[in-house]
Chain A
Amino acid sequence: MKALRNYLNKIKPDFEPGGKYEKLWSVFDGFESFLFVPNTTSGKKGVQIHDSVDSKRVMIIVVLALMPALLVGMYNVGYQHFLAIGEDAGFWATFLFGFISVLPKIVVSYAVGLGIEFIVAQVKHHEIQEGFLVSGMLIPMIVPVDTPLWMIGVATAFAVIFAKEIFGGTGMNVFNVALITRAFLFFAYPGKMSGDNVFVRTSDSFGFGGGKVVEGFSGATPLSFASSNLQPTNIIGEPLSGWDYFFGLIPGSIGETSTLAILIGAVVLLLTGVASWRIMFTVFGGGALMAWIVSACGASVLSVGDQICLGGFAFAAVFMATDPVTGCRTNTGKYIYGFLIGALAIIIRQFNSGYPEGAMLAVLLMNVFAPLIDFYVVEANIKRRLRRANA
């Protein structure tokens, strides 16, 4: 690290005004602050508190919290593939298949998103902000494995420009950028984002893991079974249990299948205080309540636990709803916001047969209402205190 610091110090004058690469200052500054800033905390004197945790470090923690879900997701991509072609490839080959299938998506997402951020920052002479670190990791995790790379590129560009940059960049967006990417893909290319043919890769990846699909294969996800009121089976027709849903060896978007891995990430986020426990718990609470109502009415074949573990629900609760920029800021607001996300996700899933999963739409819808909820919470607080003052 020290050698790198010295090297940066050496080339820094070239990028400062008057230097050789003056025009690339934003790029240099981005890399420097990514690696070393801030390294200051509050001084020994005085009463101020200021630690070195800034938005960049917060984002890095979120990316770390995403790792378990990503790794299990990669393994699951390989697992579903080899299950579909009826081969037992062993742990490492299974993981490797998933790794080389998912890695290009991560590269495309980061390259397109960061490319646009760099260009915008350069044009506006702003510092490069680190807002895309998390979005860039989320995007490949919430798409089906067979999504073409160019679609991810187009959707990422759309989301970064129209959901983030035109609102003023990182921290100013109304909607969750990663979910806008997914919503764009979902509405623009429905054939590649839903249905029975996209969640399991049956072809080879870069020539690796080729084979013929076994008899009786069906790429349907458990939720698409449930939306047609059938008991879910895995892709070769064997029955699934609640534990399968929990461990996540089921077809689905890349990072969302394993509830266990997502919960590990949730623990990291809660222990470090990065995500709001109020939102996280109320999303699960709202979803559980609505799932209980639904199953008590006999409207679904899924139990409460199944509803929570399946699809993108847990992923949305832990990583999407807790986005501090697009969520509620007041504590009371967070309870309302989280509860409605959970409840709406299950309602959409259950009562709109066109959408087997509703977590994405529920979070986006509540993103719109978050400022309104905050407004009324603040107003109510002002009223209460005025009454108290006047009494």
Chain B
Amino acid sequence: MSEKNKEIFLGPLSKNNPVIVQVLGICSALAVTAQMEPALVMSLSLTAVLAFASVIISLMRNTIPNRIRIIVQLVVIAALVIIVDQILKAFAYEVSKLLSVYVGLIITNCILMGRLEAFALGNKPWPAFLDGVGNGIGYSIILLIIAFFRELLGSGTLFGHQVIPQICYDWGYENNGLMILPPMALIVAGCIIWVQRAKNPEMQED
């Protein structure tokens, strides 16, 4: 992998993260992160859709008329999302019920259109693929961190398994009901941004 491709792949993981730097894809970060499992499935779905959409758009980039490019992108994304949705319904029905409309709403996820417009339309398939996977993983990392804290503090479980021992509850500990509610996803995301900016002083705005 060349130096430039490496940058394309690794950039979105931290310095150019789609969620906490570009603040895209926040809706789904709020909606599906109350538990780890739906967050993981959502991350995988989005990464897959983004990677394949980037490659397809990149392959077609020289034949797409400029004036209808948005429609073309939407058709590609929608087709991929429907495939992912059907696969989930067939093989992971329970999770698919938990995610409900949010898989369908991947179509409207700003990260997708943003990356296709900004990158895939002007680059060759291999870098476009790396960019898609990189952004998908960047999104996944944030979603999983948020879901980790929300599920651990809100339900005392991780992936549905009890993590906080019963003795804590006997001593008076209680799960934090606020963590289950969507506002805490924003606050956890804010804390992640806080930590990231504190570690990278060059990213701080005045």
CB of A148 within 8 A of CB of B177, answer no
The 8 A CB mask of A183-227 against B (1 = contact, 0 = none) is 010011111100000000000000000000000000000000000
Q: Which of B172, B173, B181, B187 contacts A187 (CB 8 A)?
A: B181
- Output the least CB separation between B204 and chain A (Å): 14
CB of B174 within 8 A of CB of A192, answer yes
Q: Which of B167-188 contact A (CB under 8 A)?
A: 172-174, 176-179, 181, 187
A351 interfacial contact with B, CB 8 Å = no
- How far is it, in angstroms, between the C-alpha of A192 and the C-alpha of B172 when the chains are bound? 11
Q: Which of B150-206 contact A (CB under 8 A)?
A: 172-174, 176-179, 181, 187
CB of A188 within 8 A of CB of B187, answer no
A191 and chain B: residue at smallest CB distance? B174
CB of A184 within 8 A of CB of B178, answer yes
Q: Which of A148, A150, A188, A191 contacts B178 (CB 8 A)?
A: A188
Our count of residue pairs bridging A and B at CB distance below 8 angstroms stands at 20
Residues of A within 8 A of B176 (CB): 154, 188-189
- Output the least CB separation between B188 and chain A (Å): 11
Residues of A within 8 A of B172 (CB): 148, 150
- How far is it, in angstroms, between the C-alpha of A192 and the C-alpha of B174 when the chains are bound? 10
A162 interfacial contact with B, CB 8 Å = yes
CB of B174 within 8 A of CB of A187, answer no
- Output the least CB separation between A143 and chain B (Å): 15
CB of B187 within 8 A of CB of A162, answer yes
Residues of B within 8 A of A191 (CB): 174
- How far is it, in angstroms, between the C-alpha of A191 and the C-alpha of B177 when the chains are bound? 10
Q: Is the interface of B mostly helix, strand, loop or mixed?
A: loop
- How far is it, in angstroms, between the C-alpha of A191 and the C-alpha of B187 when the chains are bound? 23
Q: Which of A150, A154, A162, A190 contacts B177 (CB 8 A)?
A: A190
- How far is it, in angstroms, between the C-alpha of A192 and the C-alpha of B177 when the chains are bound? 11
CB of B177 within 8 A of CB of A189, answer yes
Residues of B within 8 A of A189 (CB): 174, 176-177
Residues of A within 8 A of B179 (CB): 188
Residues of B within 8 A of A190 (CB): 177
State how many residues of chain B have any CB contact under 8 Å with chain A.
9
- Output the least CB separation between B154 and chain A (Å): 9
- How far is it, in angstroms, between the C-alpha of A162 and the C-alpha of B178 when the chains are bound? 14
- How far is it, in angstroms, between the C-alpha of A192 and the C-alpha of B176 when the chains are bound? 11
- How far is it, in angstroms, between the C-alpha of A154 and the C-alpha of B153 when the chains are bound? 12
- How far is it, in angstroms, between the C-alpha of A187 and the C-alpha of B182 when the chains are bound? 12
The 8 A CB mask of A154-192 against B (1 = contact, 0 = none) is 100000001000000000000000000000100111111
- Output the least CB separation between B80 and chain A (Å): 38
B174 and chain A: residue at smallest CB distance? A189
A190 and chain B: residue at smallest CB distance? B177
B178 and chain A: residue at smallest CB distance? A188
- How far is it, in angstroms, between the C-alpha of A241 and the C-alpha of B173 when the chains are bound? 38
Residues of A within 8 A of B174 (CB): 151, 189, 191-192
| Chain B CB within 10 A, most for which of A150, A184, A187, A191 | A187
- Output the least CB separation between A206 and chain B (Å): 16
Residues of A within 8 A of B177 (CB): 187-190
A187 and chain B: residue at smallest CB distance? B178
- How far is it, in angstroms, between the C-alpha of A223 and the C-alpha of B86 when the chains are bound? 51
- Output the least CB separation between B104 and chain A (Å): 29
Residues of A within 8 A of B181 (CB): 187
- How far is it, in angstroms, between the C-alpha of A151 and the C-alpha of B181 when the chains are bound? 18
- How far is it, in angstroms, between the C-alpha of A150 and the C-alpha of B171 when the chains are bound? 11
Residues of A within 8 A of B173 (CB): 150
| Chain A CB within 10 A, most for which of B177, B178, B179, B181 | B178
- How far is it, in angstroms, between the C-alpha of A317 and the C-alpha of B181 when the chains are bound? 29
Residues of B within 8 A of A192 (CB): 174
- Output the least CB separation between B166 and chain A (Å): 17
Q: Which of A112-150 contact B (CB under 8 A)?
A: 148, 150
Residues of A within 8 A of B178 (CB): 184, 187-188
Residues of B within 8 A of A150 (CB): 172-173
- How far is it, in angstroms, between the C-alpha of A151 and the C-alpha of B178 when the chains are bound? 13
B172 and chain A: residue at smallest CB distance? A148
- How far is it, in angstroms, between the C-alpha of A188 and the C-alpha of B176 when the chains are bound? 5
- How far is it, in angstroms, between the C-alpha of A148 and the C-alpha of B187 when the chains are bound? 24
Q: List 18 A-B contacts (CB under 8 A).
A: A148-B172, A150-B172, A150-B173, A151-B174, A162-B187, A184-B178, A187-B177, A187-B178, A187-B181, A188-B176, A188-B177, A188-B178, A188-B179, A189-B174, A189-B176, A189-B177, A190-B177, A192-B174
Q: Which residues of B contact A (CB under 8 A)?
A: 172-174, 176-179, 181, 187
Q: Beyond the given A150-B172, A188-B179, A189-B174, could you list 17 further A-B residue pairs with CB under 8 A, ordered by the A residue number?
A: A148-B172, A150-B173, A151-B174, A154-B176, A162-B187, A184-B178, A187-B177, A187-B178, A187-B181, A188-B176, A188-B177, A188-B178, A189-B176, A189-B177, A190-B177, A191-B174, A192-B174
